[in-house]
Structures are given as structure tokens and as C-alpha cells.
Amino acid sequence: MARQAAGPPGLRVLAARARDLLLRDRTTLDEAHIIEAIAGGARRMLYEPELSRHALDAWLKAVAADGDLTAGHAAMLAAVETRLGSAEVRDVSLLPTQALTAATGHASPAAWAAAEFQLVRRHVVDAWCTRLAAALHDGHLHSGDGDQLLLVAGWPIINESDREVAYLTQYPVLASAVFTTRYRNPMPSAQTVPWAVVLRVPAFAPGHATAHRSNYLHAEPGTVLPADTPVDDREVRALLRSAAGYLPEDSASDPAGPIPAVAAWRAATGPATDLRDWATDHGDYHWHLPQRWRWIPAENHHTSGPGSAQLLQQLCQALHHYTAVLVVAAGEPDALDRIELVVSPDAVDPDTGALTYRPYDLPGCPTVTVPWRRIIAVHDAW
């Protein structure tokens, strides 16, 4: 249904891409702030969009119908004039140093300033439309020029505010996982499984997706792929890992036995908290855990000491429906990276010491299992 509704990328998509790219352009935003400051600051109600978005949205609405750039220019100018056309000049010092308007022929300095401000606004609109036309042309040039990997966190795309990038749903999903970073972006709504996916999309799409501003999704570009080039699974996993942190596939080809890098990270983590007394007295109650506690696994999970799998299992039981920070060695066996994940610990396999966790405490959220040899530490999330 989503793919049918999205349709193929067309003129509106390319125009929306141009609009979003300009909304991230520092020069464009500075020009919008300056012409608002000339009139004494932002002259809008709280519910009204910023001047740059208001003007660029007007351009998009006019251009998306049939690609008429002249209509887009007129619509943008009308939007700017509606907002600032009747505003008085409050700060003459922000007008151009080289005046655009002749000093003669005006009834007063204020009348000259008003004429100068009107011309400044027109020049700004001209500049914005020129940049938009260039970005639109660039989108046409790149719409058939190979492919690129794209990470989208916040999948599927279902929110009305993201309809301009909904066309992404028609491209193949190469891999998916629940995103579990130390600081979550975007923050999913309640009862929504926070999926992240890697797509293979046309080369123009990543620039559009990453420029798109949204409270519900986040996009990152990946490797550029010439036409008919197969996808490298390692590159897909590397991109997905930026959102998911650890992937079950990471340890699939691990050598047997302890991993030297993990042993070194464990040793450098700092002193562990001996939780054996806590486990004896208050093992069922999360709020009795010591402040700033830290658990570090022993080399052998069958040990009876403070780094045992048995103690980790008691921590999982106490932290049920709560979160902790899991420090793991993520990545391919030949390219390990120490990362921190905010997780809900679920269970420990008594035979292998593998820890199963949920990236979020949601009923439908899938679990992930990380082997003992990849676990560096577990500590409080506060």
C-alpha cells in the first residue's frame, strides 16, 4: 500500500528536494534573518513558519504542478511581500552598503528606506529562485546516475509531514534492525517499534532525504554504487550499524575463544561494582542497586565471582522494564569498535553466557542476542 501510494519520484519530488536543500543552506537562512531583522525582527505569529520555509513552500506549491519556474518566483515573492511588504524599516544599518536605490526622488529618508528594503527583498527572492532552479536541474541530472545506499531511521514513512520523501518506500530494503544508539535520534512515539533500514536508491535521493527536516525520521547517505554494481554486504552492515549499534551478524564469523580487544576494553573500563551482596539481599528490586554501578564480565562465564553469568541473569531480572547501558564490541571481527547501547536486558543463556536484550521496552520490539565474548560491561543508564 505504501509503495503504491508513494509512486515514482517525479517533478514534485525533485522540487521538494531543491526546497529542502535550500532550507539547510546557511547563506539562504542568513539572508532570511537579515531581511527580517531590517524590519525589527521576526514578524510572525507563533503558529506561522519561518520566513525561509514560508517562501520556499510557496515556491514548491507553484512549481510542483507543471514545473513553471516563473510561477514559482511570483508565488515566493508574494509570500515574502505578504509577510514583510507593509513592515517599516527598523534597522537601516542592515541595508546594503552599496545602495540599490537612488537617493533622489523620495519624499523622506523613510520613504527611501522603504523603497530600498523592497528592492532588497526582490533581490533576495531572485537569489533564492536561482539557487532553487540550479538544485532542481541538478536533481534532474542525477535522477538516473547510478545508485547509493541510504540509511533511514524511523521506518516506515507514514507521517504526513514526511510525504515528500515517501517515494523512498518503493526501493528495496537491503537490511533492517531496531535502532539502539546511546542518544536516540529520532525519538520514536510510544508503542512504535523504531526500525532502521538500509535502502538502495537513485543517486539524487540521499541528498534529498538527509536535507529533509523531520521529527520522525533521520537519514544518512552511504556508499555510491555505479549502475549494475552489486551491493557489498559489509557496507550495508556498516551503515545499518550507525543506527543499530550492534548487529547479530557481527559475531557470526568470530574466532573461537576470548577476543583480545574485548579483554583489553574490559580491563580499561574501570573498577567493577561487586554486586554479590546486592544479589543476595535485594536481587528482585531494581531501585536497590548501588548508585553508579558497573558490572564487568569475567573471562569465563561459569565463574561464581562478581563477573559471572549468574549475576548478570539476576541483573536482567531486576532491570525488567528498565534500561541499562550495554557496552559491547560491535563490527566485523577484523574491525571491532567499542560502543554503548541503551537497552532493556532480557535474559542470559546459562550455557553460553549470551545476553538477550530489547532495544526498547516495547511488546512488539524484537530481541537481539550478543555473545559473552562481545560483552564489555553493563552499567546504570543515569
pLDDT score of 266: 96
Mind listing the pLDDT tens digit for each residue in 289-347?
888 899 999 999 998 889 999 999 999 888 877 889 999 999 999 999 999 998 989 99
Non-local CB neighbours of 265 within 8 Å, separated by 6+ positions: 327, 329, 338, 376
What are the grid coordinates assigned to 220, written together? 544518512
Give the pLDDT means over successive 10-residue stretches in the chain (382 positions): 44 83 91 91 67 92 86 94 90 88 87 93 95 82 74 90 87 92 62 88 85 86 88 95 93 90 94 89 67 93 91 88 91 94 91 91 85 96 78
The grid coordinates listed for 155 are: 521506518
Cell numbers describing residue 147: 545508485
Gap between the Cα atoms of 178 and 354, Å rounded: 19
Q: Is 312 exposed, middle or buried (0-12, 13-18, 19+ CB in 10 A)?
A: buried
The single-letter code of the amino acid at 217 is L
Report which residue type is found at 135: A
Give me Rg for the CA atoms of the chain: 28
Q: Is the peptide bond before 156 cis (omega within 30 degrees of 0)?
A: yes
Q: What is the pLDDT of residue 142?
A: 58
The β-bridge partners of 155 are: 195
What is the reported pLDDT for 355? 96
Q: In what order do the strands lie in the sheet with 147-155?
A: 173-178, 195-202, 147-155, 218-225
pTM (predicted TM-score):
0.70
Q: What are phi and psi of 176, to 5 degrees?
A: -145, 155
Q: Which residues contact 344 (CB under 8 A, 6 or more apart)?
A: 319, 320, 321, 322, 323, 324, 357, 358, 359, 360, 361
User: For residues 235 and 204, is the Cβ–Cβ distance under 8 A?
Assistant: no
From CA 75, how far away is CA 68, in angstroms rounded? 11
Q: What is the C-alpha separation between 286 and 317, in angstroms, rounded?
A: 9
Round to whole Å and give the CA distance between 161 and 186.
14
The residue behind cell 509503495 is 3
Read off the amino acid at residue 91: D
Tell the burial category of 88 from Cβ atoms under 10 Å away from its Cβ (0-12, 13-18, 19+).
exposed
Q: Residue 130 in 3-state DSSP?
A: helix
Kind and range of the H or E element at 326? strand 324-330
The residue whose grid cell reads 529520532 is 186
CA distance 202 to 245: 26
Grid cell, residue 246, equals 550492534
- Do 200 and 242 form a contact (C-beta atoms < 8 A)? no
